[in-house]
Structures are given as C-alpha cells and as structure tokens.
C-alpha cells in the first residue's frame, strides 16, 4: 500500500526557510515521479516542484528559484527546501506520486493519484 507522510511545516517569518519531508512507504520513491503541491486559502492546488526517477527537477517560473526538491533514496524520502519565504507562500503543502511516470514528470495534477495528508506552512510578515 502506497503511503506518503509529510512533515516539517510550521510558522516562520518572511525571509526564513523551512525544509519539508515526504516519507514514502509501500513502494520505492526513486522509481517514479513525486511532486510537491500547495493549496493556499481559498484557492486550488498548484504544483511547486517535481522530481523524476532519474533525479531531474522541475519548478514553476513564479517561484524564482526559491524552492529546491531533492531525494534521499536510502531513506525513501523526498524533501522540499524552501528559502526566502514570503507571506504568499502560506499554504497547506502536499507531496504526491505519479506512479505512471518515471523519466518525465507531468504538470497535470490529475495524474498524481497518491497523496499525503499535508503539512501547514505559515509565513508572517
């Protein structure tokens, strides 16, 4: 049974950093695409990073290089390092797996069928 568990959220001031973790079980996280998504209050979910089986990472342009996704294969865990946080980054953050994609990770959120429960990030000004 595929399970994803996020952790590492919290409250920080603007300009601060957080590292989120996504611990995977029931499958090998390095075999498929994993993405990080967020849902801001009153909005739909949007992707903020994804990593392929061969380690290629992709980010939306609006992040301007502030977030970095990485993976520790030994721990079967994917991370999201978030730097220069802004109040607009306040959201619930989720990791999700696309178990039908390996080398190319699609942006289409509907492809990600397995989700964690989320971890809250709050950035104050």
Contact yes or no for 116/22 (Cβ under 8 A): yes
- C-alpha span between 104 and 38 (Å, rounded): 21
Give the burial string for 40-49 (b: 16+ CB within 10 Å, else e): eeeeebebbb
CA 63 to centroid of chain Cα atoms: 13
**What pLDDT was estimated at residue 103?**
94
Q: What percent of the chain has pLDDT over 90?
A: 99
Q: pLDDT per residue over 43-89, tens digit each? A: 999 999 999 999 999 999 999 899 999 999 999 999 999 999 999 99
**What pLDDT was estimated at residue 93?**
98
């Amino acid at each position: 049974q595929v399970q994803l568990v996020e952790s590492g959220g919290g409250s920080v001031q603007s300009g601060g950093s957080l590292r989120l973790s996504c611990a995977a079980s029931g499958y090998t996280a390095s075999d498929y695409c994993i993405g990080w998504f967020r849902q801001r209050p009153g909005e739909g979910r949007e992707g903020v990073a994804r990593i392929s089986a061969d380690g290629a990472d992709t980010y939306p342009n609006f992040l301007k290089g502030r977030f970095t996704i990485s993976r520790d294969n030994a721990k079967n865990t994917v991370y999201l390092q978030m730097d220069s946080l802004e109040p607009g980054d306040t959201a619930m953050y989720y990791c999700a797996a696309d178990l039908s994609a390996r080398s190319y990770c699609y942006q289409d959120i509907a492809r990600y069928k397995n989700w964690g429960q989320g971890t809250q990030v709050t950035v104050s000004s």
